[in-house]
Amino acid sequence: MKELALQKFSQLASSLGVTKLTPDEAQAIVGLSRLAIDADRSVDGDELDLYDDLGDLICELAGTDADEVVEAEDRKPRGDDDRTARIADGTGKLTAKPARELAYAVAYLLTVADLAIQPEEDAYLAILQDKLGISEDRQSEIAEDVSEAIAEN
């Protein structure tokens, strides 16, 4: 799953209209992605590995140092109030629709990577969808794009 997801990332980003990101957008997407894997309050090594690799690809789109961005996000506090503030900060940095949709797609990808979305992850995705201004119809399309991007043929 992990290798397939990484191989298809560029295709997914392109289908959402993202070929380049600003450093702020990359940092916001990586941060929101970190919150996605933390949503169920458990540590999964495979999810963390996929997050690290996706962080590299996201930062590559912005020409930024992935290690610096990922490590900075890893050190940020994760309490409930902190999470709320981090969601607001991250979504506030994403003004372009394609970047907002990529942020949602990456978060969705990370939550389905283990083939089961936990209730806490689903709740996080609903909050993220709302804060990013993504409609129900568009959310379904993005979820389908992610599923198609990672489906084995």
Predicted pLDDT of residue 81: 83
Residue 70 near residue 149 (C-beta atoms within 8 A): no
Give the whole-angstrom CA distance, residue 44 versus residue 28. 22
pTM more than 0.85 = yes
Structure tokens at 34: 């970190």
- For 71-114, how does the pLDDT look when each residue is reduced to its tens digit (9 = 90+)? 888 888 877 788 899 999 999 999 999 999 999 999 999 988 77
Q: Roughly what angle, to the nearest 10 degrees, separates helices 119-132 and 80-92?
A: 40
Structure tokens at 9: 């990332």
Percent helix, percent strand, percent coil in the chain, to nearest 5? 75, 0, 25
Q: Among 108, 113, 123, 120, which residue's Cα sits nearest to residue 29?
A: 108
Domain extent at residue 103 = 2-150
Q: Roughly what angle, to the nearest 10 degrees, separates helices 80-92 and 23-38?
A: 150
Structure tokens at 33: 């992605």
Number of domains comprising the chain: 1
Give the whole-angstrom CA distance, residue 62 versus residue 47. 23
The mean of the pLDDT values for the chain is 89
CATH number, position 58: 1.10.3680
**Whether residue 60 has pLDDT greater than 90:** yes
